[in-house]
Amino acid sequence: MKLKVNGKEELVDDGLTILGLLEKKGIKPMLVVVEHNFEVPERENWGNIKLAESDNLEIVKFIGGG
């Protein structure tokens, strides 16, 4: 199915959750914030939210520095 991730279309497996997508991309969930269809779901729900055709995701990584 097609999703839009950070403004770019991506093909992903059907039935994938937000958490599953992050794991597949090698992204540590504790280091990001995810916006799903213009809402920010609670981190503890990411494993329960199944992605659907044409969903929109924004994944923002935390970067430390000084």
DSSP 1-66: -EEEETTEEEE--TT-BHHHHHHHHT--GGGEEEEETTB---GGGTTT-B--TT-EEEEEE-----
pLDDT in tens, 16-56: 999 999 999 999 999 999 999 999 999 999 999 999 999 99
Structural domain spans, the chain: 2-61
CATH architecture of 2-61: Roll (3.10)
pLDDT band at 66 (very low <50, low <70, confident <90, very high): low
pTM over 0.75: yes
pLDDT in tens, 54-64: 999 999 998 77
